[in-house]
Structures are given as structure tokens and as C-alpha cells.
Structure 1
Amino acid sequence: MLWINHVSHGGESEKNFVSRPAHRAAGAGLAALLLAAGAAGCGKGEESPEMTPAAAVAKAAKNTEDITSLRYRLNGSVPEQGRIEAEASMRVKPEVAMSMKMKAFDQGTDGTVEIRLVDKVMYMSGGAAAQEMGGKSWLKFDLAAMGADKELNQLGTVSRADRNPATESTFLTGAKDVKKVGEEKVDGVETTRYSGTLTLDDLRTSSKDEAKETRERREKSIEQYEKPGVDKLAMDMRVDGEDHTERFRMRGDADKGPLDMTFTFLDVNKPVEVAAPPAEDVATLEDLMAGASAG
């Protein structure tokens, strides 16, 4: 039994009895309240278990499927062309369109070009061809009519025109040695950096379970690395706090020089409109050939 002092109305002290079971119930209730309060306090500071590097990279790659347009910056070096720097805006859906301004630093005074891709027609301004266009400022390539893959490959760096860096940012999912490198800022945004290495065969194998559209996009990108002789890539990927890729870098050895490209995403899913140049400013390959024959 538990004794509790009680003061009566008359001021005299009395002793009342409170059953021990009731006391235990009260104590249990108080303990429950304290535990609940403690749990709530701990909950505020708790973090969910950290994802593995491979899972974090896969989640960022999955988020690229929602990208319909993007603006990005590219810098680095590519085989034959040497050092390059570019900024581009690209619409992926409903149809591909893009605008890119690029400088190839090792190509002399003719190294700066602008490229537009509209309705499967590519327009290029600047570069060595500009001297041969009879006062016109744009050269037209009808990709649908002339065979896009063949002609784009002959244009060297310009072949980037129809390639989607959002697709290439997912390549690290094919690596078997993905690891977390650390934390760093990209244009003021806090990111986590991951790295790994992969062969193009690894990349193809990892694509087998993807949707058909994803496989086709990735295969097109893989082929662009195979053609200059790249068979293995070292890759870094920076992912922000919302599981979106902010920057990625790819390096490899090609037959005609090193490949080292860094892509930084500047805007995602904002409207991108690309217009063809005025017709009076456009020359065609036929115009160039006619001019060459006349010369």
C-alpha cells in the first residue's frame, strides 16, 4: 500500500490509502509520456539510412526520364578537334531541336561555330566553310535527305548536335565500382560526387532491362564513342539534394587523342524554341559544290 498525506478541511493531517496497482498505472502513464516525448525529440534529428552509391546514381538516372528540355554547358577536349567549349539549349520532346554555340580553341580563327537543329535540318554558321559561302552566313544540311548518321560523323564535333547529354549522364549506372567521392558545390549548389569506370560492353549489358526507347537512345550514344575508338570510360557524376544530376564528366582514350568532356546542366524542363535562320542567309552543300566547280 502507498501512504499519501492529506490535509483535511479542519487542518488536521490524515493518511489516505492509494492502491499500489493504481500507483503503477500512473507511473506507467508518466513513463509512456516521457518515452513519447523522447521519441519525438529524436525523430526530428534522425536521418533515413543513406543510400548506397549505386542506388543514388540509379535514382538520379531514373529522374532523367522526366527531362523534356535542358540548357547545358560543355567543356573539355575531343579527339581530332582538341579543346572545346560550348553552351547549348536542347528540346528532347515532342521532337528534337537544339541551338549550340561552340568554340574549338585548337582550330585557329575558324574555330567558332553556331549550330541549330530544326525539323531534322541542321544549320551551321562560322568555321572554315564560312569563307566559301558567297556572302551567306549559314550552311544547311538536310539530315533526313542525306543520311544523318553518315553526314554528322563527317562533321566531327558537330555530331554532338543530336546527342542528348541527359542520356549520357546515366552511363555511370553501368559501372560495377561506383563509389562516393565526397561533397562539393556546383555553381553554388551542394552536390554529392560519385565515380566509377565502365566499358561500353558493360553499358550495353546494363541496358538490357531498360525500356526500348531508353535502350535506343543509349545505343546511339554508345556508337558515338565507339567510332573514335573509345572502349572504356572513367566517369564522375555530381548529384544534388533532390537526386538530380548537376554535372558529369567522362574521360577515355580514343584512336586520335584523349576524350575528356564535362557537362553542367544549367536549366531543365524550361521552354526551348529554336528557329531556322532566314532563307536568304542560308547556303546549301549544292551551292558550295557549284561554287567550287566554278572556281
Structure 2
Amino acid sequence: MKTMYRRAAVAVLGGALLCSTAACGSEPAEAELTPVAAVQRAADKNEKLTSMAYTMSGKVPGEGDVEAEASMSLKPLAMRMTMRMEVEGEREEMEIRLTSDGLYLNGGEEAAAEMDGKSWLKFPVGALAEKGGENPLGGMAGQADQNPAAEAGSLTAAEDLKKVGDETIDGVGTAHYSGTLPFDEVRAALAEKPAAARENTEKTLKRYEDMGVDKLTMDMWIDQDDRTKQFRVRGASDKGPLDLTIKFAGYNKPVEIKAPPAAEVADLEEMMKESAAG
């Protein structure tokens, strides 16, 4: 079960990453922008984003290879993700759903064998932290119910931010930007940001630091409508490499995500209450 919790944490992080970098809009881009202006424009347009579809692939420290496909609504907040990871030499797949009342993980037959035939486990997002208990998903669960749009401008803090060139991704023309972000530089740039943006960014940096990462290399591919077509984040740690690429397939399309049938769900909060009573 602990392995399932860790996999869910990776997925939520992935959702947090893409929220912080995706952008939407239909205004034509200027012929040429400075790297800082181009990245900031994409970050600003993220405020208008209401939903998206994306794929995620790469490596996560301590977890290994990961692949995922997801759809996400930001207004209201909801997410559905199918995720595949290699666990102890075996390829495993799981589904995650985030709704207004909780985070649901489908652990398949293994989970059903431990939970009286119920394959879904429900985490009441934020409830455990509010009660002072240990959250099995770690700090990432706290990000699941937030829109980290304010973090999208982090790449502008990179002193070496540059335009790498023009590239075509899935038939779409994009401008490729890249920069290196030591976390001390990101924190220094936060001084001029609103309090909410500072708090959200600090939470994200803390999650990377928990992985053993203290510096990120970020790459963004921005199309002519100032949308982020692709995003890549890399870092090194003693637990292994962080190297995630997120590719966006659609924006602002209707997304309907429902909780699993109640008969198939084991509620973690209720299980904890029963355990305490026992």
C-alpha cells in the first residue's frame, strides 16, 4: 500500500508541474520577444486556463520510470490520470481521480484483497493535515487543491534564460526556451511576488528538496498562441535523476470527472476512525 501512496504523490506532482507551466490564449504572438517576456506572457495567460489534457513521461527520484495520460479541470478543480510505473521490476498501472470531495486511488486486485473487495481508496484531501496526522501522500497532496499559476513565472528568474531555437512538436511550430534555476535564486526573486505566490512556490521547492533536488533545468516550448506545447524539468539527487516531460494535447475543453461508485471505495478517514476506536 505504501508503494501505491508514493505513486499517487508522483502523479499529483505531475499535475502541479503542468498547472504551473501551461498557458492558453488565442492572441497572435509578436514577431520576436525577449526570452523573459515570452515566458512571462505564457505564465500570465495561465490565469485564463480552465482545463487541459496532457501526457507525462520520464524519471522520478526514488521511483524510476513513469508514464501517464491525464485530463484536468481547474474551474472546478478535478483530475483523472492513468499512470504506469515500474515497481520492483514489474510494470504496474493505476488510476487516480481527484474530485471536490477527495483523492481516489485505484489499487486494483492488490488493494481489493486488503480492503474487503474494494479496489478504490479515498483520501480526504487536506483533512489529515488539518487534524495533525501524517499524510501518506506527503506534502504533494496539499498542492492537489491549488492552482499554482503564480509559479509559472519561475523560469524568468533564471539568469541564463535563453531561446534555444524554433522547433516543431507534433506538427506545431514552437519557440524553445531553457534556463537553470538554483532554488536560492528562485527564493530571491520571490521578494517582489504576492504573498500567495510566495507561499505556493515555497511549497513546490520544498517538495523538490525532499527528493534531494536543489537546482532545476527547465525547458519550455511555446507556440504562436503563447500556449505551452511542451515542458521539461530536470534535476539531480542522490535518489536518482528527475527528468519529466509534459506534453499538452488540448485546452479549455469540457472535462467531467466523477468519483468511483461508493460500493467500490474504502474511505481512509473512516478506516482511521475505526482503527482508533478499536
TM above 0.5, yes or no, is yes
For the pair 1:216 / 2:193, whether they are aligned, the reply is: no
Residue 70 of structure 1 is aligned with which of 52, 56, 62? Answer: 52
Shift in alpha-carbon separation, 1:113–1:119, aligned structure 2, 3 A = same
Aligned-residue offset at 1:281 = 0.6
Contact 2:163–2:178 at 8 Å: present in 1 too? yes
For the pair 1:151 / 2:141, whether they are aligned, the reply is: no
Who is 1:137 aligned against?
Answer: 119
Who is 1:55 aligned against?
Answer: 37
Contact 2:148–2:200 at 8 Å: present in 1 too? no
SS in 2 for 1:256: coil
Residue 100 of structure 2 is aligned with which of 99, 119, 130? Answer: 119
Equivalent position amino acid for 2:79 in 1: M
Deviations, residues 30-73 of structure 1 (Å, cap 9, x unaligned): xxxxxxxxxxxxxxxxx976322222112212211221222221
Residue 269 of structure 1 is aligned with which of 237, 252, 272? Answer: 252
Who is 2:219 aligned against?
Answer: 236
Distance 1:152 1:160 in 2: 14
Runs of 5+ unmatched residues, structure 2: 1-28
Aligned-residue offset at 1:195 = 0.7
Who is 1:103 aligned against?
Answer: 84
Bigger RCO of structures 1 and 2 (CA < 8 A, at least 6 apart): 2
Who is 1:19 aligned against?
Answer: none
Runs of 5+ unmatched residues, structure 1: 1-46
Aligned-residue offset at 1:235 = 1.0
Residue 225 of structure 1 is aligned with which of 192, 195, 208? Answer: 208
Cα root mean square deviation, aligned: 3.1
Shift in alpha-carbon separation, 1:129–1:89, aligned structure 2, 3 A = same
Shift in alpha-carbon separation, 1:167–1:108, aligned structure 2, 3 A = farther
Distance 1:139 1:69 in 2: 25
Distance 1:146 1:194 in 2: 39
Equivalent position amino acid for 2:118 in 1: K
Deviations, residues 207-252 of structure 1 (Å, cap 9, x unaligned): 3323444333333322221221211001111010122211110100
Residue 246 of structure 1 is aligned with which of 226, 229, 232? Answer: 229
Give TM-score, length-normalised by structure 2.
Answer: 0.76
Amino-acid identity (%): 47
SS in 2 for 1:139: strand
Distance 2:266 2:199 in 1: 33
Contact 1:75–1:86 at 8 Å: present in 2 too? yes
